[in-house]
Amino acid sequence: MQVPLMADLISRGENPDILFWVGCAGSFDQRAQRITKALAAILNKANIKYAILGKEEGCTGDPARRAGNEFIFQMMAYRNIRLLNQYNIKKIVTACPHCFNILKNEYPELGGNYDVIHHSEFLQQLIDEGKIRLKETGSFKGKRITYHDSCYLGRSNNIYEAPRKILEALDAELVEMKRCKSKGLCCGAGGAQMFKEEEKGNTRINFERTQEAITTGATIIASACPFCNTMLTDGIKHAEKEEAVQVMDIAELIEADLD
């Protein structure tokens, strides 16, 4: 894939309209890399002038702050802010709600002020503006899809409608879980829980959440977060439903139906 690097564009005297912030999961996790590729393919198809930081991009520091290591967080954040300000970045799009939340809401107090958009809202804008068109008889038309709300996207930033409008645009049959939107159940990965051993209890949160999704009868669980995607995929494997149910990011759903 031809994905432009920020350093290359700047060296040619060009400025992208948006910076695509890939994030740690989107860069290193094999499953999340497919989400990154899908979003890049959509941006290319829509002729959006964008760039990524590539090897210059560092972790936002979100897991460190959530785990209580403020010193490490501030080290990471100041390094990123210095680089972003050096490149005079104004607008950032990311497919990770964790990156989105911290860049949008927590970087400003350290001097990092940017227009940060989650890919669910950005993709909905592209559809509304006609910059990307979907097949009239797409592969998801009439399919039962349930959507899992990411905590950092939903409760933290009140973004509930954009991903659902994307599913409407795909002509899918959206079936909601009993716990959804502001009452949605966490996948179990947020707040740095992804990186620690689980505590004693009756069941793992992701197993319980996945069971709620399976109960809807949906053949696809849509998500808008690489962490949620991982946890729900593990839940599907545990339930031995890999043949019947897929976990897909909204960017992958759109890319599969691009006209």
CATH number of 6-124: 3.40.50
Which residue's structure tokens are 């409008």?
165
Are 6-124 and 133-256 the same fold in CATH? yes
Token duo for residue 50: 């964008």
Angstrom CA distances, 18 to 5, 53, 89, 174, 255, stand at: 12, 11, 8, 31, 19
Cα 179 from chain centre: 20
pTM: 0.93
CATH code of the domain occupying 133-256: 3.40.50
**Gap between the terminal Cα atoms of the chain:** 19
Identify the H or E element spanning 95: none
Name every residue whose Cβ is closer than 8 Å to that of residue 116 and which is 6 or more positions away in sequence: 91, 92, 93, 94, 100, 103, 104
- For residue 200, count other CB atoms closer than 10 A to its CB: 4
Q: Determine the Cα–Cα distance for residues 228 and 177; give it in Å rounded to an integer.
A: 15
The pairing of strands 18-21 and 50-51 is parallel
Q: Domain limits of the chain?
A: 6-124, 133-256
129-134: long-range pairs with CB below 8 Å, 24+: 131/46, 131/47, 131/48, 132/42, 132/45, 132/46, 132/254, 132/258, 133/258, 133/259, 134/169, 134/170, 134/254, 134/257, 134/258, 134/259
* Rounded Cα–Cα distance for residues 1 and 3 (Å): 6
- pLDDT, tens digit only, all 259 positions of the chain: 889 999 999 999 999 999 999 999 999 999 999 999 999 999 999 999 999 999 999 999 999 999 999 999 999 999 999 999 999 999 999 999 999 999 999 999 999 999 999 999 999 999 999 999 998 888 898 899 999 999 999 999 999 999 999 999 999 999 999 999 999 999 988 777 777 777 788 888 899 999 999 999 999 999 999 999 999 999 999 999 999 999 999 999 999 999 8
